[in-house]
Structure formats: structure tokens, C-alpha cells
Amino acid sequence: MKSREALLKFKRFQVEERRRRVAQIEAMINEFARMAGDLDREIEAEEKRAGISDPGHFAYPTYAKAARVRRDNLINSSAELKDQLDDAKGALEIAFEDLKKVEILDDREKAAERAEIALRQQMESDRAAARMRFVASRA
């Protein structure tokens, strides 16, 4: 009984951990997208200020170049995180399926225990009724 409860608790913990991981990765992806958007606006403003929008131009602003590199790194990191998110969602799905299996097994075992208790109670009731009939027949 206790091992079953411990297993259920462990499986629920696993599901919650995987949910937290999925949420964490999604938050990071959203944050990277926000930061990349901010950098896009800064690049655009710097290009307007300098009057040069061609990154290959010799006088292209150094800050805009650096911001482009940071933005590209964020985009690449976001793509890598999307792969990790897919893996994390797969792990969450597996953990959830495992939890459901354990819950179903637990429900079956509890139903069997309830049936056994009901059978014992019925047998005790039948014995008591038989004793009462026996006592009544002797009187």
C-alpha cells in the first residue's frame, strides 16, 4: 500500500517537473524573441541615424554590427531551445502516460480491496444470520 502511494507520488512529481521544464523553456524562447525584437529596433534606429543600412558598407555602424551578431545568436539559441522544447514535451507526455498507468493500476487494486472487504462483510453477515437461525431453531 505504501509503496503504491510512494510510486504515485513519484510519478506525479515527475510530471510536475517535466511541466516546469516545458514552461521554463517556453519562457526562455519568448524572452529571446523579445530580446531579438528589441535588437531589431535598435539596429534599425542605428542604421537610420548613420544613414547606412548595408552591413557590407565600410562605414556601417559598429554598434549595429554587434547588435546583429547578438540578435543572430539569440535566434540560433531560440531554435536550439525549440528542439529542447520538443524533447521536453515528449518527456512530459511519457511521464503523463506513466502516471496514468500507475493511477489505473492503483484504481484497480483499490477496487479489488473494496470488493474483498465487501465479500468479508457479506460472509460475516451470512455467518451471523446462520447463527441466529441455529439459535432460533434450538429454542
Q: Is residue 117 part of a domain?
A: no
Q: Is residue 55 part of a domain?
A: yes
Please compute the mean of the pLDDT values over residues 7-16 and round it to a whole number.
95
In this predicted structure, the answer to whether residue 2 has a pLDDT above a threshold of 80 is no
Q: Is residue 112 part of a domain?
A: no
What confidence category does residue 44 fall into, taking pLDDT thresholds of 50, 70 and 90? very high
Q: Is residue 37 part of a domain?
A: yes
Of residues 129 and 89, more confidence is placed in 89
Give the model's pLDDT for residue 36.
98
Q: Is residue 81 part of a domain?
A: yes
Give the model's pLDDT for residue 15.
97
Of residues 5 and 139, more confidence is placed in 5
Q: Is residue 20 part of a domain?
A: yes
Chain-centre distance for alpha carbon 90:
9
Q: Is residue 71 part of a domain?
A: yes
Count of domains for the chain: 1
Q: Which domain holds residue 84?
A: 2-107
Query: Within 13 A of 68's CA, how many CA atoms are on the CB side?
Result: 15
Please compute the mean of the pLDDT values over residues 19-46 and round it to a whole number.
98
Average of per-residue pLDDT values in the chain = 93
Please compute the mean of the pLDDT values over residues 100-111 and round it to a whole number.
91
Q: Is residue 8 part of a domain?
A: yes
Give the model's pLDDT for residue 128.
85
48: domain CATH number is 1.10.287
Element (H, E) at 59: none
Instruction: Note whether 35 and 77 are within 8 A (CB).
Output: no
In this predicted structure, the answer to whether residue 18 has a pLDDT above a threshold of 90 is yes
